[in-house]
Amino acid sequence: MSVYWEGEWVRLFFPEKLRHKMERERGSREWDWSCPHTRRRLEDLYFGERGYIKAGSQESKEFWLFFDRFQRFHNQLKKNKINKDREFEDEKKSKVIDLPKEYDPRYRINVSIVLSRDVERALHGHHREKGHRSRDCADLPTEKLAEFKKAILHYLDFTQKQSFGKLAKLRKERSNLPIFQYREKIIHMVRDHQVVVVAGDTGCGKSTQVPQYLLAAGFGHIACTQPRRIACISLAKRVGFESLNQYGSKVGYQIRFESSRSPATKIVFLTEGLLLRQIQKDSEVPQYQVLIVDEVHERHLHSDFLLGVLRRILPLRPDLKVILMSATINIKLFSGYFDQAPVLQVPGRLFPIQVIYQPVPQEEAASKTEKLDPRPFLRVLQAIDHKYPVDERGDLLIFLSGVTEISSVLEAVQVYATHTQRWIVLPLHSTLSLVEQDKVFDLAPPGVRKCIISTNIAETSVTIDGVRFVLDSGKVKEMSFDPKAKMQRLQEFWISRASAEQRKGRAGRTGPGVCYRLYAESDYDAFAPYPVPEIQRVALDALVLQMKSMDLGDPRSFPFIEQPPMSSIETAILYLRDQGALDANEELTPIGKLLAKLPVDVVIGKMLILGTLFSLLEPVLTIASALSVQSPFLRSATNNPECATARKPLESDQGDPFTLLNVFNEWIQVKSSRSSNSRKWCRRRGLEEQRLYEMANLRRQFKALLKDHWMLEESGVPTRDRHSRQRQHRERKELHQLKRQHERSEKQKRKVLKLQDQDGGSSSDGEERSHADGTESVDIQDVKFKLRHNVEELCASSTGQELSGSQLSLLKLIVCHGLYPQLAVPDSFNSCRKDSDQVFHTKSKQGIVVHPTSVFSSNPEILHVDSGQEEMTVAEETSVDKEGKKLNSRRKGQSTKHQIVGFVSLLETNKPYLVNCMRLPALQGFLLLSRSLDTSADCCRIVCDGWMEINMVDPEAALRLISEAVRLRLAWEKLLKSRLEKTSSVEDFQRGDDRRKKKEIDRLGYDLVDYMRSEVAYSMRRLAALETQNLYVGPQTVVSTPALPGVFGNVDMKLDPVKGGYRATSFLTYNCLLNDTDFYSDCLRSFWTCPNCGLYMPFTPIERMSHQSSCIEEGSVAESEEQNNEMAAVTALHRNYHCDICQKDLMMTSTEILRHKKQHSSETNS
């Protein structure tokens, strides 16, 4: 310590030359190796740019550690000059400092690599030579330099030997792998054929070895795909390690958001999805020479598609080699798909596993409604306890179908475990927090076994060492897709024989095992041989879209390895056409092209694209990302009251996407504030922080993609002052250092689990793991996050300004526009029902329930129409002179406040559920979003998308609303189209044009918000099946209504040959509804004076509208500057205003507030 101080002090207060002199003099008396200055000098001399050891590197730190031990050892030698037993000393020496006992010249390395020329000269006594260089080490005594050099050589010998030893061991391990025997054969096969199939079971070593064999045989640019991200990372690590190339870059991985790839990378492990995106960018993938597709037998959507794409690429790239790797399953299928590609079968290396069939007795078999009976599972635990001595280690892995099943078995097993003190029970499924998931890797104390109760996550994704017993329920939950209702369905099935074998295999990885099957052997024989490939079970929207963008022709005739059902393809095409991604010829539209490039569902992609108009992209980005990742809300926290209260302020009564928006924004604030710990913040609220990190990555990618496709204006990067730039630089340096620190301390020892933590244990469970040496563990995710993102900027852009009321209302419209047609209406009797019995309906599916995780599930009243008096007064005003009967029917259920629910997915488990819901004003939503609107003659009756009927009482208001909807939709469409067209011709948008567009957009945003706020009373009704079949008047021979120019903007109204009436726009047909008994009464003319031109004559309401709109159009004047500003401000300046006089909370701009106040004052004055 004192030495350090002295060194520092000297450095600070003495000029350099004098200092060196002092040190030289001191050095001769009392040399100090640990003086930091000396060390720096030595590093400068020896650890240069070209040196083997680089200054400041991990290697240099290791060297200094070695050096200290080396010195200690030498000093000790000097002290005990007595040398009783040389051999003993030698042994001690090698133990103490790990020096090689013998000096084998084979380990020698080329010293010139180590030592730069200058140093060499210095070391050999040339430092007296003339020149500046010689002065460099003049301050260091020659004998000390020689001593140091000796230490370096010792160190290098030592590390050389160490790595040679490692290498030899690794080589031996590698040659013991079953696949090693086939090394030459594989290389020859790949040389001779373009496609080769390598089939080998678990443990044969194919994934790690085949890429290395090929590299060694002279192939380069090898890509190896994996279905899972973690597999890419761990394989790259393993293969890098085997080739002693950990710190080099020959072996790397590349997954979304993370890559260790460099130009020097020869073998890259990447995900199937990522390779597909690369192929989408450049269809001939010139960057690769060899493509290895691993785990093809798993039959994921991506791998099946990838195989199809590869088959198409092969003739275009005759030099490209493709190797399919699979378990020894269904090999003929893969070989046959590639023109009888040669197959190499490699035996696996599993230990023998005893199979015991123990079918569940009839009375314990699960009935549909009851909980899973745990007795058959308990019997197996008992059997293990009886049969196998406690000192024989080996854990138990139970496979169940789902989370509810896990918890019911867990409960019973936990009781047994408490009783016997022989088991530690751990659940495992993907919705568990990552901390909880990691526990399955911890160790049980001696005499205790782990019992891991898992979903099929443990079948392939999570591999747990030390499992000796497997207990297989034989059940699995699988997602399928109902195209009619566009609904996902999660159902339980018997597993396939292939899955049963895979589950069994999990018992024999580290030693002989036992597999208990809770079904009969005859059941097993009756299982399907393989699981249904994903491509045959899921919606193919995204796939078809990607196929179209890759120019793969008609998806109906694409030669998939196994055809998906034709209906799935047809449904997808229809859907994409309906969404405007494909045109009538099934070609990609401009929006379709963009959607194909966005790595999200179509509905999410749509909201992103729509979000680029107006200035609401930031929240849209956040919502889109939030809806694309697993929910950050942990289930385990839902029944924790503390979590519930901590979550409360984050909840939005607008709906779940807005709660997620709040969560992210609040989290970013926590991240940006120096004092708070986001990990703690998340834990308190029961949030999985990983999901928030994923969101941050996603929203950044989305933004970049939108920018790449010219959907964004160049955002003016705020120029920072010098001070903040410096601070940022400093912070980044610190972060990099933390990252390195983490990488160094990487190997965390596995924790030993405690027996029976019984509910007391949870308090310490979530705590960060700190290292054994007491150093604070680095929150590496936080470090990576802060390196990757500019937190300040994120904070400013995403949470900088609170959303105003108008912004929120526009944002809701955008999100719902994206989600369309995923809209549901509340059942009209919901307000009379129990909270848990709230029912909703979509066009294609009735009787749906909001998912219990939704805000609307816990607060259903948000969606209820207030049983208000207010609404009735609106209705009454306009209806004095009409017949009572009709009125009553129309007035029933009239309200200005009906709401509909946009949802992200429709999922059926026990019941059909709406997942991720948000609310939207019903009438405005329907009028602005519906694909088809059909109206009666007076427009009071509107049928939306052929299933929702809306009835208004006031025909004037009805007309106004519809014509305004038409105007807004056409304007919106036009602006979006022009924005999309920018993608093709950048030069087109010149400054002036841009400014005009900007103004139009502002105006549209302003008007949309205004529109969403309009207060018109109406009733809503779902049409019965019979009604939907007899909706239209049909083709008309007599034109009953004249065309009315100007009612719906400038559109031409043409007779609709199918529905009858007039087709005004692609989405609006006027006066086509059958059974409109009120036609004549509503069309009666009454005298009216035009306030604009003074014309006085009899009009029907619609004629009046027509006149008015054309009259106003002629007389329209340019808007005042003030008005313009007001419009531009809509997305920024609307704010909450509470008016004391009318006792209302209003959402208004400052101008509007002024006007509002003025109105009150004029009222009171008069």
Partner DNA sequence: CTCTCCCT
Enter the tokens of residue 543.
């796939």
Size of the site for DNA (CB under 7 A): 51
Among 502, 568, 612, 628, which residue sits at the site for DNA (rule: CB under 7 A)? Answer: 628
Q: How many helices (H) and strands (E) does the chain have?
A: 47, 32
Q: Of 3-11, 99-107, 222-230, 823-831, which segment contacts DNA by CB under 7 A?
A: 222-230
**872-884 as b/e: b if 16+ CB within 10 A:** eebbeeebeeeee
Minimum CB separation of residue 467 from DNA in Å reads 17
The overall longest dimension of the chain from CA atoms, in Å, is: 129
Q: Could you say whether residue 433 binds DNA (CB under 7 A)?
A: no
Q: Could you say whether residue 655 binds DNA (CB under 7 A)?
A: no
Q: Of 189-197, 389-397, 596-604, 936-944, which segment contacts DNA by CB under 7 A?
A: 596-604
Q: Of 94-102, 239-247, 563-571, 850-858, which segment contacts DNA by CB under 7 A?
A: 850-858
Tell me, what DSSP letter sits at residue 803?
P
Minimum CB separation of residue 273 from DNA in Å reads 3
**Whole-angstrom distance, CA of residue 154 vs CA of residue 169:** 22
Q: Could you say whether residue 838 binds DNA (CB under 7 A)?
A: no
Q: Could you say whether residue 1108 binds DNA (CB under 7 A)?
A: no
Q: Could you say whether residue 503 binds DNA (CB under 7 A)?
A: no
Cβ(629)–Cβ(701) below 8 Å: no
Residues 512 to 551 in contact with DNA, rule: CB under 7 A: 542
Minimum CB separation of residue 487 from DNA in Å reads 13
Cβ-Cβ contacts under 8 Å for 357 (sequence gap 6 or more): 517, 519, 520, 521, 524
Q: Could you say whether residue 800 binds DNA (CB under 7 A)?
A: no
**734-749 as b/e: b if 16+ CB within 10 A:** ebeebbbeeeeeeeee
Q: In degrees, to the nearest 5, what angle opens at C-alpha 450 toward C-alphas 766 and 238?
A: 75
Among 289, 431, 828, 1151, which residue sits at the site for DNA (rule: CB under 7 A)? Answer: 431
Helices (H), 613-748: 617-626, 641-647, 656-672, 678-685, 689-708, 722-744
Q: Of 500-508, 635-643, 748-756, 1023-1031, which segment contacts DNA by CB under 7 A?
A: 635-643
Residues 774 to 793 in contact with DNA, rule: CB under 7 A: none
Closer to DNA at the Cβ: 665 or 697? 697
Cβ(833)–Cβ(626) below 8 Å: no
Q: Of 46-54, 265-273, 521-529, 984-992, which segment contacts DNA by CB under 7 A?
A: 265-273
Closer to DNA at the Cβ: 277 or 882? 277
Q: Give the residue carrying structure tokens 């920024």.
A: 1132
Closest CA to 983 of 593, 608, 621: 593
Q: Could you say whether residue 915 binds DNA (CB under 7 A)?
A: yes
Cβ(245)–Cβ(215) below 8 Å: no
Residues β-bridged to residue 451: 396, 425
Residues 1016 to 1055 in contact with DNA, rule: CB under 7 A: none
Q: Of 339-347, 562-570, 627-635, 735-743, which segment contacts DNA by CB under 7 A?
A: 627-635
Residues 924 to 983 in contact with DNA, rule: CB under 7 A: none
Among 479, 526, 528, 574, which residue sits at the site for DNA (rule: CB under 7 A)? Answer: 479
Q: Of 315-323, 380-388, 449-457, 521-529, which segment contacts DNA by CB under 7 A?
A: 449-457
Minimum CB separation of residue 1007 from DNA in Å reads 34
Among 28, 58, 162, 461, which residue sits at the site for DNA (rule: CB under 7 A)? Answer: 461
Among 300, 312, 379, 497, which residue sits at the site for DNA (rule: CB under 7 A)? Answer: 300
Q: Could you say whether residue 230 binds DNA (CB under 7 A)?
A: yes
Please spell the DSSP secondary structure of 1035-1074, one letter per residue. S-SS--S---TTTTTTPPPEE-TTT-SEE-SSSEEES-BT
| Binding track, positions 736-775, relative to DNA; x by CB under 7 A | ----------------------------------------
Q: Of 28-36, 848-856, 997-1005, 1013-1021, which segment contacts DNA by CB under 7 A?
A: 848-856
Distance of CA 203 to the CA centre of its chain: 31
Q: Give the residue carrying structure tokens 């995106």.
A: 277
Among 277, 371, 707, 999, which residue sits at the site for DNA (rule: CB under 7 A)? Answer: 277
Among 909, 978, 983, 1151, which residue sits at the site for DNA (rule: CB under 7 A)? Answer: 909
Among 770, 910, 1029, 1066, which residue sits at the site for DNA (rule: CB under 7 A)? Answer: 910
**Whole-angstrom distance, CA of residue 19 vs CA of residue 911:** 82
Q: Of 335-343, 425-433, 465-473, 1138-1146, which segment contacts DNA by CB under 7 A?
A: 425-433
**Whole-angstrom distance, CA of residue 795 vs CA of residue 782:** 15
Q: Could you say whether residue 635 binds DNA (CB under 7 A)?
A: yes
Element holding 573 (H helix, E strand): helix 566-578
Minimum CB separation of residue 227 from DNA in Å reads 6
Cβ(940)–Cβ(891) below 8 Å: no
Element holding 912 (H helix, E strand): strand 912-921
**Whole-angstrom distance, CA of residue 561 vs CA of residue 338:** 9
Q: Could you say whether residue 402 binds DNA (CB under 7 A)?
A: yes
Minimum CB separation of residue 432 from DNA in Å reads 8
**Whole-angstrom distance, CA of residue 938 vs CA of residue 1101:** 7
Burial of 1048 (0-12, 13-18, 19+ CB in 10 A): buried
Give the interface with DNA as residue ranges (CB under 7 A): 227-230, 255-256, 271-274, 276-277, 300, 302, 401-404, 429-431, 455-457, 461-462, 476-479, 490, 542, 599-601, 628, 631, 635, 638-639, 836, 851-853, 857-858, 907, 909-910, 913, 915
